[in-house]
Every structure is written in structure tokens, then in C-alpha cells.
């Protein structure tokens, strides 16, 4: 807000070259030849790099390292990276890209996921090493209980085919990277990334360098939302160009390149059926998701699992079947986006929950309350539920909104809707199967009393630096401004796996608390020596070390510190979060979706729908979110409001469109996101269930709050005009089409039974 933060593009290194990428104009084509001679001969061009089989493939998941820094043999989407250029300025670099002569041989393209399921010849597979004869990347099948029997016994059923187009993150700061290969053979990379550790690992593989010779620095990040949670080709290209030139190289994307890089939410076709008893008890869920992954694997294996397994909460039922398939297509790759893997399925499930409630003659809120999981329980697929605040979320949102006075009682065109959510608070198991801690925090306290905190947890605007400082300040009983957080540099900050899966508060926060407790132990021992009291009786509070049995016996924080470091030097401590306690079943894919804790939500949304224009205007949202313990209530409120904004965009207007595999709206002028004028009034209701394993009881608040807003809007629209929507976004033309279908249906005469 002050303009003083330093982002990657703000960094100026002496002798920096401008890097640009030549991108494929074809969605799927063989590269017959590449001639870079003209480009290399241009004045001001310092290096050109092209793809080579010698460069290692990479990717965020070890199970699907299918990405290349630069295309080898063929391109697989419009925008695929073909060559990289480093030049003295941007104009020369762009001209050099145009001077590169590439001869392509066009291949058959795969636009529709259904086409990608068909067996093809090896040359038509986007990734020849996949095990399937088609362009199917991953298939998941799971069944618990007896689904078919449960449906035969269900009194009421609801089903639908839901369609979701892709959406992207629309973060403010475009991708940017600077790579500097030094004379001593060390490589330093500055990048706007959520995952410095995974970037570090993949740079080592692609550059064929040991990790200790590579330094990754994360400057401030201007928005990410999952869109910067992969290692990317442009980061590798900048490093390759810097090594070739011996000079720093910066690559800054324009907005179209951001859209071509994408890694946004997957377009999905979701077929779903649910059943319940006459009394309204949920009994069975059957879900099939066909997921369009685009050109690369990214987080796709996880996405394929999450579309199903994260549907099981927050309700209790005993029969569940899921089939998920993610396919490769000739489109920009999809990946992780806020609420990763759970948003589309949650929308479909919550819309059908309302249909079931109506068939049972029950209120939608009461139906949900009657089907809640309890606290300290296990889902049918083995998820361990500790704290669970959904019931309180529903009751408080319903009360605050005046639900029972409004549901089904508002004038035509006005409606109110409810939906719930369920999301992970950190992944129980790490991506790479090793014994490295998920998060490590180092603390140093020297004679000045200030505390330096080092951790590679990525601050991407969500407030993780503040959160870690809070955890340390709370334990040591000192003001938060005595804590200095360093979380940017792989040379100085110990490992944290990154900002994804809503893991940072739970894991880095726990590591910070554990490290601070070790410092507190040393301060208490020092106070005991100064007062000749038992160290076990001391505690730190309000800048002092206080003897609890006799609170008038106390030592100032600085006096205790000087005693503690006498003859020893600065106090040093390390805290780690390794893994969650042992949990989960033994079935295939049991680890997918396992989390040390889960967050829960319930939202009520009130809308107005103009039946003449089809325009939907959300009026107010009552958003209740169970975050365990709100360490920073203001930050929690802001995260919830941000989730509402993003979710309403997908529900009402956002669409990542294609025309013959060209992205049709690759700019923030054409890709419509809600402005401040479209934001409704929001009443945030923080529910604190105080999770027993989170730091001071905390759980996540950065992704889960997105899930309920989409279906709560849809359910409110149904209440307003009597039209149900199985396709997003709910644009005015679709609303008008729905009203027209309803009018025709209402006007259709009932069939007469002929005797």
C-alpha cells in the first residue's frame, strides 16, 4: 500500500539482459527444424537457447515430472515455449524471437476431454511415456459401502450433469524471474513464487547442478492463489540464458503470457447422484468427474483425487463411489487454484443437497444440520476429523441472516441460499517422500533483545510472516515488533515446503511456537538463577519472566536474556513440523486429502435477480468460517472476503474461453472479474473450534472460505426465480434461457390419464 515493497521486477542488477520467449503458434505440431542463426547474428542479442533432450524434465509432483523448459521435438499448446532469447533490451529481444525460423508439421489436436480418452497412435500422445494408449493422465476409482444397493433403498434421489469452464487466478503481479549465474559457478534466482523449495529442487535437476550451488530468493509476491505454486519453464529458461551469457537475465511476462501459462482451475464435467431416506438422512453419493488438465501434469494427480475425496465432508453418509479422470488436451496447462480440487464438486453436491431437502419437505438448513459429522470422528474414507464447527457455522449464519423469515418468503426475484464447505488445513504427507520436515523455524536472540525468525514459508500476501511473528511473540511475552521475520532466501532460511494446501499457519505456525518454547525455557532457567527459584515455576508475559507461585517475583525480559547468553552467546532454537499423526486407511489413494485438521464453513447469501435482464446481484453474504482459533482476526476477515470475491467471479462471470484452442480473452480487459461495485455487503462470522493440534488452536482460513459461496449464490437464485443451474458461470444469458425453459415447462399442460 505504501509502494515500498520490492517485487521481482523492481530489482535492478548491473548488466541485466532482457529475456523473451518464442512461443508456439500451433496447439500440436512436430518441430521439424529450428534456425536461430538470424537471431543470433542480430546486434544486441547475447544468447539464444532451444530445447534439448539433455535437459531434465521437471514438475511439482515427482509422480508426473512431464514438463520441459523448452519444447523438444514437438509443441503441445498455443504458447508452448520454443526458444529463449537474451538481449540488451526488450525491443531487440522481441525482434530476435521473430527472426527465429521454426518449421512445424501440424498434428491432430485434442480440444474436448472426451476426444482425449480415445486410443491414439504414439505420435499423437501428448506425453508418450504415460501408461495409457490415450491421452488419459490419471484415473481414480474408489468405492466405500454398497452404492448400488444404497440407491435402491433411497427414498429420494437427486442427480445432475454439471459443467464448469476453466477459470484463472487473475493475480495482479505477472510472472517475473531474474537469474544470475556468477563466475564462481553459483546460480541465484529471484522469482515471484509460492514454492521456493520446489523451484530450488527442479532448478538443480534442469541445470544439472547440486542444490547447494543454487540460491532461490522470493521477493514480495503480488498475488498468487495457487498460480505460482509450480516451478515454471520461464524460470528454467532465464537460468539457462544467464549461464550461457554470464550475465543476469530478467524475464517479465506480459498479461497474455500469464494467461497462456495459466495453471488455473480445471474445466470439468461432473456427473453426480445423491440419495437419502424419507426422513432426510443422507445415505449415498456417487460422483464422476472428467477433468481437462491441459498440456502438463502440474498438480493434476492430486486434483483428480481431490475432486472426489474432498466431497465426503462435512456430512455423514455410509456409501460413496468416485471415478475421476484427468486428461491431457492441447490447451494451456491447468493446476492448483484457491480451493484446489474441491470447488466444482462442492458446488454440485451442495446444489443437490437443496434438491433433496425440498423432496423431503425439509428446510435446507435443518436438512444439513441433521446430517452433520461430529467432532473427533472419522469419515467413511478414513479422514480423521478433530475439531468441527459446521453446526455452529450454520446456526450463526442462519440466525444472523434471518433465514427462516426469508427462505421461500421473499418477493419474486429475491432469494436466499445456504451452502457448506469442507477443506484441508495442511497436507498430512509431503509431496516428496523423504524425512525432511514440512516446516522448520530458526530463532536467534542476541543481547539487543530482538528476535530474528528464519523460515522459508512463502509470504504471498496471506500474512504468514505476521502469523509466525505472532506465535513467537505470544510464547515469549514480548511485543510483536521485537520480531524480525526472514522468509525469502534459501541460503539463510530453513526449509518450508511452500504456500499451498493451506498448510502454513498449521505447520509453520507450529514450528514457530515450538522454537519459541525452547527459547522460553532458557529464559526461565536464567530467571531462576537470578532469583534462586525453581525454573518450572516461571513463565514469560508482558516483557517479563514471572514466577507464577509468587507473581511479585519477576525478572525483566532483557535481564533474563543477558543472564541466559552469559558465556554462551546468542540464544538459538529450532522448531520443526514433521508429519501429522498416523492416519488414513489402506485403500489405494488413502493419503490423498489426508490433513492434520479440516476447516468448515456455512454461508447464507441473499440475491436479487432481474427477470428482464437476467442480471444476478448478490446483496449480502453472512459468511461463517471455522478457523480453529483466529490468531489474527482482521487477516481472517480479509481472507474470507477475498475468497468471496474470487468465488463470485467463478459463479457469475469468469470464463477462460477458447476459439480453436486460442485463448479468446487473455487480458484483464476481457477476462471479467468482479469489481468493488459488484461486491455485496459481507458479514464475517468467525467460529473458533480451537483445534487441539493447531498452533494455539488455529486452522486454515485462506482457501476453504471460497467453497460455499458458489453454491450458496446458486441456491439463492433458485429461491428467487425457481430455476436451477448446473453450469457456471450464471451469466445473464443463461439466466434468461433458464427462465424461458421454466416458462415453457410451466405452460405445458398436464397429461390426462385415459381410462
How far lies 410's CA from each of 404, 501, 607, 618, in Å? 11, 39, 10, 14
Residue 29 and residue 104 in one domain = yes
At which of 204, 224, 241 does a domain end?
241
Please name the residues in contact with 723: beta carbons below 8 A apart, sequence gap of 6 or more.
Answer: 717, 735, 738, 739, 741, 742
Domain that holds residue 607: 377-425+587-755
Do the domain assignments include residue 98? yes
Distance (Å, whole) CA 581 – CA 428: 8
| pLDDT tens digits, one per residue of 611-666 | 999 999 999 999 999 999 999 999 999 999 999 999 999 999 999 999 989 999 99
Residue 510 and residue 553 in one domain = yes
Per-residue pLDDT at 1: 78
Average pLDDT over residues 349-369: 98
Residue 553 and residue 448 in one domain = yes
At which of 182, 216, 241 does a domain end?
241
Is residue 670 over pLDDT 80? yes
Residue 649 and residue 571 in one domain = no
Do the domain assignments include residue 155? no
With cut-offs at 50, 70 and 90, classify the pLDDT of residue 747.
Answer: confident
> Is 601 strand, coil or helix?
strand
Is residue 755 over pLDDT 90? no
Residue 556, C-alpha cell as written in the block: 525483566
Per-residue pLDDT at 749: 63
Is residue 433 over pLDDT 90? no
Whole-number average pLDDT of the chain: 96
Residue 569 and residue 598 in one domain = no
Radius of gyration in angstroms for the set of CA atoms belonging to the chain, rounded to a whole number = 27
Residue 200: phi, psi to the nearest 5? -55, -50
Is residue 8 over pLDDT 60? yes
With cut-offs at 50, 70 and 90, classify the pLDDT of residue 754.
Answer: very low
Residue 708 and residue 736 in one domain = yes
What is the share, in percent, of the chain residues with pLDDT greater than 70? 99
Per-residue pLDDT at 186: 98
Is residue 581 over pLDDT 90? no
- Cβ proximity of 724 and 351 under 8 Å: yes
Per-residue pLDDT at 613: 98
Distance (Å, whole) CA 738 – CA 728: 13
DSSP β-bridge partners for residue 599: 423
Q: What is the DSSP string of 639-687?
A: HHHHHHHHHHHHHHT----EETTEES--STTTS----GGGPPEEEEEEE
- Cβ proximity of 537 and 490 under 8 Å: no
Q: Please report where in the chains the cell 529458461 appears, as a residue.
A: 237
With cut-offs at 50, 70 and 90, classify the pLDDT of residue 746.
Answer: confident
Do the domain assignments include residue 611? yes
Residue 428, C-alpha cell as written in the block: 498430512
Give the closest residue to 351 by CA, choosing from 726, 608, 739.
726
What is the share, in percent, of the chain residues with pLDDT greater than 90? 95
Q: What is the DSSP string of 421-481?
A: EEEESS-SS-SS-SS--SEEEEEEE-TT--EEEE-----SSS-HHHHHHHHHHHHHTS-GG
Distance (Å, whole) CA 259 – CA 265: 12
Distance (Å, whole) CA 502 – CA 494: 19
Residue 531 and residue 390 in one domain = no
Average pLDDT over residues 153-160: 98
Q: What's 40-74 look like in SS3?
A: HHCCCEEEEEECCCCCCCECCCHHHCCECCCCCCE
Residue 564 and residue 619 in one domain = no
Q: In terms of DSSP bridges, do strands 384-385 and 176-181 run parallel, antiparallel, or are they unpaired?
A: unpaired
Please name the residues in contact with 3: beta carbons below 8 A apart, sequence gap of 6 or more.
Answer: none
With cut-offs at 50, 70 and 90, classify the pLDDT of residue 750.
Answer: low
Average pLDDT over residues 46-71: 96
Q: What DSSP element (H or E) covers 327?
A: strand 319-327
Do the domain assignments include residue 522? yes
Distance (Å, whole) CA 399 – CA 606: 14
Do the domain assignments include residue 615? yes
Please name the residues in contact with 682: beta carbons below 8 A apart, sequence gap of 6 or more.
Answer: 620, 621, 623, 640, 641, 644
Domain of 733: which CATH number?
Answer: 3.30.365.10
Do the domain assignments include residue 551? yes
Is residue 307 over pLDDT 70? yes
Residue 565 and residue 594 in one domain = no
Is residue 236 over pLDDT 50? yes
Do the domain assignments include residue 269? no
At which of 520, 547, 577 does a domain end?
577
Residue 450 and residue 390 in one domain = no
Domain of 64: which CATH number?
Answer: 3.90.1170.50
| pLDDT tens digits, one per residue of 478-529 | 999 999 999 999 999 999 999 999 999 999 999 999 999 999 999 999 999 9
pTM of the predicted model, to two decimals? Answer: 0.96
Q: Count up the domains in the chain and report the number.
A: 3
Per-residue pLDDT at 653: 97
Do the domain assignments include residue 358? no
Residue 572 and residue 592 in one domain = no
Residue 513 and residue 614 in one domain = no
| pLDDT tens digits, one per residue of 254-267 | 999 999 999 999 99
Distance (Å, whole) CA 215 – CA 489: 7
Amino acid at each position: 500500500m505504501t509502494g515500498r515493497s520490492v517485487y521481482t521486477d523492481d530489482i535492478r542488477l548491473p548488466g541485466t539482459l532482457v529475456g523473451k520467449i518464442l512461443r508456439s503458434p500451433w496447439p500440436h505440431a512436430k518441430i521439424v527444424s529450428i534456425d536461430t542463426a538470424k537471431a543470433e547474428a542480430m546486434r544486441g542479442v547475447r544468447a539464444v537457447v532451444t530445447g534439448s533432450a539433455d535437459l531434465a524434465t521437471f514438475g511439482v509432483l515427482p509422480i508426473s515430472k512431464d514438463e520441459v523448459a523448452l519444447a523438444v521435438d514437438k509443441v503441445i499448446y498455443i504458447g508452448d515455449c520454443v526458444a529463449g532469447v537474451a538481449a540488451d533490451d526488450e525491443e531487440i529481444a522481441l525482434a530476435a524471437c521473430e527472426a527465429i525460423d521454426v518449421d512445424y508439421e501440424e498434428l491432430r489436436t485434442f480440444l474436448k476431454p472426451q476426444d482425449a480418452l480415445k486410443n491414439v497412435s504414439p505420435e499423437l500422445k501428448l506425453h508418450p511415456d504415460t501408461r495409457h494408449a490415450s491421452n488419459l493422465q490419471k484415473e481414480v476409482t474408489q468405492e466405500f459401502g454398497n452404492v448400488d444397493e444404497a440407491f435402491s433403498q433411497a427414498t429420494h434421489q437427486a442427480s445432475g450433469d454439471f459443467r464448469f469452464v476453466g477459470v484463472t487466478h487473475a493475480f495482479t503481479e505477472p510472472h517475473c524471474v531474474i537469474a544470475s549465474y556468477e563466475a564462481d559457478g553459483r546460480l541465484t534466482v529471484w522469482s515471484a513464487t509460492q514454492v521456493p523449495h520446489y523451484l530450488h529442487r527442479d532448478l538443480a535437476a534442469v541445470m544439472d547442478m547440486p542444490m547447494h550451488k543454487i540460491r532461490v530468493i522470493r521477493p514480495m509476491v503480488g498475488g498468487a492463489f495457487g498460480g505460482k505454486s509450480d516451478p515454471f519453464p520461464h524460470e528454467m529458461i532465464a537460468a539457462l540464458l544467464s549461464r550461457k551469457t554470464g550475465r543476469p537475465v530478467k524475464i517479465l511476462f506480459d498479461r497474455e503470457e500469464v494467461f497462456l501459462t495459466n495453471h488455473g482451475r480445471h474445466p470439468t464435467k461432473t456427473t453426480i447422484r445423491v440419495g437419502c431416506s424419507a426422513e432426510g438422512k443422507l445415505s449415498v453419493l456417487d460422483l464422476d468427474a472428467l477433468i481437462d488438465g491441459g498440456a502438463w501434469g502440474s498438480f493434476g494427480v492430486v486434483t483428480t483425487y481431490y475432486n472426489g475425496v474432498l466431497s465426503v465432508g462435512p456430512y455423514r453418509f455410509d456409501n460413496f463411489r468416485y471415478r475421476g479422470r484427468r486428461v491431457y488436451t492441447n490447451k494451456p496447462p491447468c493446476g492448483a487454484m484457491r480451493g484446489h480440487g474441491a470447488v466444482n464438486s462442492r458446488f454440485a453436491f451442495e446444489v443437490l443437497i437443496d434438491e433433496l431437502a425440498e423432496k423431503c419437505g425439509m428446510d435446507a438448513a435443518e436438512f444439513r444440520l441433521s446430517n452433520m459429522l461430529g467432532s473427533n470422528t472419522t469419515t467413511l474414507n478414513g479422514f480423521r476429523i478433530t475439531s468441527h464447527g459446521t453446526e455452529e457455522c450454520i446456526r450463526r449464519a442462519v440466525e444472523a441472516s434471518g433465514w427462516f423469515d426469508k427462505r421461500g418468503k421473499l418477493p419474486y426475484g429475491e432469494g436466499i441460499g445456504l451452502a457448506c464447505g469442507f477443506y484441508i488445513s495442511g497436507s498430512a504427507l509431503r509431496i516428496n517422500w523423504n524425512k525432511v520436515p514440512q516446516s522448520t523455524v530458526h530463532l536467534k536472540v542476541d543481547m539487543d533483545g530482538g528476535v530474528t525468525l528464519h523460515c522459508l514459508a512463502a509470504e504471498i500476501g496471506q500474512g504468514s510472516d505476521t502469523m509466525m511473528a505472532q506465535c513467537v511473540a505470544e510464547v515469549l511475552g514480548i511485543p510483536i515488533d521485537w520480531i524480525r521475520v526472514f522468509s525469502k532466501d534459501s541460503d539463510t532460511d530453513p526449509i518450508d515446503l511452500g504456500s499451498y494446501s493451506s498448510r502454513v499457519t498449521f505447520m509453520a505456525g507450529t514450528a514457530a511456537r515450538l522454537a519459541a518454547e525452547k527459547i522460553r525455557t532458557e529464559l526461565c532457567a536464567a530467571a531462576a538463577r537470578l532469583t534462586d527459584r525453581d525454573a518450572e515455576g516461571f513463565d514469560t508475559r508482558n516483557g517479563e519472566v514471572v514466577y507464577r507461585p509468587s507473581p511479585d517475583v519477576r525478572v525483566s525480559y532483557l535481564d533474563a536474556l543477558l543472564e541466559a547468553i552469559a558465556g554462551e552467546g546468542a540464544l538459538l532454537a529450532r522448531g520443526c513440523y514433521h508429519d501429522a499423526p498416523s492416519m488414513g486407511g489402506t485403500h489405494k489413494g488413502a493419503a490423498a486429502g489426508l490433513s492434520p485438521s479440516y476447516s468448515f464453513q456455512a454461508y447464507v447469501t441473499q440475491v436479487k435477480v432481474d427477470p428482464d435482464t437476467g442480471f444476478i446481484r448478490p446483496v449480502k453474504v453472512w459468511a461463517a468460517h471455522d478457523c480453529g482459533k483466529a490468531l489474527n482476526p482482521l487477516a481472517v476477515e480479509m481472507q474470507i472476503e477475498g475468497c468471496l470475491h474470487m468465488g463470485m467471479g467463478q459463479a457469475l462471470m469468469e470464463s477462460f474461453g477458447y476459439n480453436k484452442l486460442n485463448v479468446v480473452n487473455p487480458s484483464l480487459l476481457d477476462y471479467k472479474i468482479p469489481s468493488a461495485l459488484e461486491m455485496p455487503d459481507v458479514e464475517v462470522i468467525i467460529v473458533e473450534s480451537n483445534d487441539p493440534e493447531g498452533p494455539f488452536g488455529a486452522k486454515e482460513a485462506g482457501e476453504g472460505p471460497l467453497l460455499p459461496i458458489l453454491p450458496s449464490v446458486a441456491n439463492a437464485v433458485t429461491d428467487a426465480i425457481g430455476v436451477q443451474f448446473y453450469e457456471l458461470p450464471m451469466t445473464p444469458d443463461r439466466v434468461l434461457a433458464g427462465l424461458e425453459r421454466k416458462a415453457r415447462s410451466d405452460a405445458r399442460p398436464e397429461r390426462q390419464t385415459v381410462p
